Amino acid sequence: MDAQQRRTGTDQRPLPSPPSEGPFSIFSVLAVFIAIAILTVVISPTSILHQVPEGHVGAYWRGGALLNTISEPGIHLKLPYITHYEPVQVTLQTDQVRDIPCGTKGGVMITFAKIEVVNRLRKDYVYETLLNYGVNYDNTWIYDKIHHEINQFCSSHSLQQVYIDIFDQIDERMKDALQADCTRYAPGIEIISVRVTKPKIPESVRRNFEQMEEERTKVLIATEKQRVAEKEAETKKIMAISEAEKNAKVSKILMEQKLMEKDSSRREQEIENQMYLARQKSLADADYYRVLKEAEANKMKLTPEFLELRFIEAIADNTKIFFGNKVPNMVLDQRLLGNFLKQVAINTSDDI
């Protein structure tokens, strides 16, 4: 029955009453009050507690005298109304110096609308810097120093130099000038960079500069066109020279080829001539050798007996008959025949 009543929600027993609100409500109110009081104490400049934000250190003055105690980021204690606290930034910060008037070397007044100086105070030099120059140390070494350096720079240069010629050098010059004095007098200040905006110049002067820039642009365009034309002409010249050199090389190669052909023909003719001379010499030597041998053979044949035989054969072959008293004697006279044969032998020897 009880279980069923619980399931159906018809249980008529009274629900347990909530705990008493008296002590709990008082504790809650006290906790809220204490939290508000703590926050009020922390926020109030005359409070005991104070908070140093990240990227800063805490500097303290007691009775107007700077203490050499430097606190890190976090919550710290101090004596209210006696100790004064200031957070000092030790990370990179950018100081903007605006509306800096200056006069150029020619007497023209110009204004730099904004100059940004990125700087940092080194943590180990916080006490020394604050002791010498106070919390607003950047007024002395950045804001006032920028005004001084810009005026010094403008007074030693013309408007043309400041506005156009050496404007890109102002950043580095300002940085070097600031860092040199800070290193000498306030070594805790480190100048990271300086950014200088274009200065404002009088309207009439600005129009003159614009006209000058237009004329300079026209001159540059004309110069560029002339350079392009010269480049094109030079390119054409180079192409013509290259073409001529190519043709000359081709002609030289063809000439060398013809000369080589002629030389080959000459050598071939010389070889043929040498072969012909060698053949003719061989033939002449052979004829000479043949004639020499025939002469030697004839010499060996020219004996008295052989000549007598040839004489007799010649006489015998003669068909003519001579009549007279001396004919038989001539034919049969052996002494006359012998003399004739000797004379023939002598003549033959002389010829050889």
* Secondary structure of 105-122 as H, E, C letters: CCCCEEEEEEEEEEEEEC
Residue 264 forms part of a structural domain: no
Structural domains in the chain (count): 3
Are residue 95 and residue 172 in the same domain, yes or no? yes
Q: Is residue 208 in a domain?
A: no
Same domain, 80 and 95: no
Residue at a domain's end among 175, 201, 227: 201
What span, in angstroms and rounded, lies between the C-alpha atoms of 143 and 112?
Answer: 13
| Containing structural domain, residue 343 | 302-352
Q: What ranges in the chain are assigned the alpha helix state H? A: 2-8, 21-43, 126-133, 137-138, 144-155, 159-160, 170-185, 203-301, 304-317, 327-332, 334-351
For residue 184, give the DSSP letter.
H
pLDDT digits (tens, 9 = 90+) for 88-132: 999 999 999 999 999 998 888 999 999 999 999 999 999 999 999
How much is the mean pLDDT over the chain? Answer: 81
Q: Are residues 95 and 194 in the same domain?
A: yes
> d(Cα 172, Cα 193) in Å, to the nearest integer?
8
Do residue 78 and residue 153 come from a single domain?
A: no
Same domain membership, residue 97 and residue 72:
no
Tell me what pLDDT residue 209 has: 75
197 shares a domain with 111:
yes
* pTM, 2 dp: 0.51
- Final residue of a structural domain among 150, 173, 201: 201
Residue with tokens 């156009």: 164
- Specify burial of residue 110 (Cβ count, 10 A radius: 0-12, 13-18, 19+): buried
What is the structure's pLDDT at 19? 46
**206 within some domain:** no
Query: What tokens appear for 142 in the block?
Result: 């950045």
The verdict on residue 120 lying in a domain is yes
Residues 103 and 84 in one domain: no
106 and 152 in one domain? yes
Question: Which is nearest to 49 in space by CA: 77, 19, 79?
Answer: 77
In a domain, residue 166? The reply is yes
Tell me, what's the pLDDT at 347? 64
How many residues are there in the chain? 352
pLDDT average per 10 residues of sequence, the chain (352 residues)? 39 44 60 60 64 92 90 89 90 93 90 94 93 92 93 91 89 94 93 93 81 84 90 91 91 90 89 90 88 81 75 70 54 53 61 56
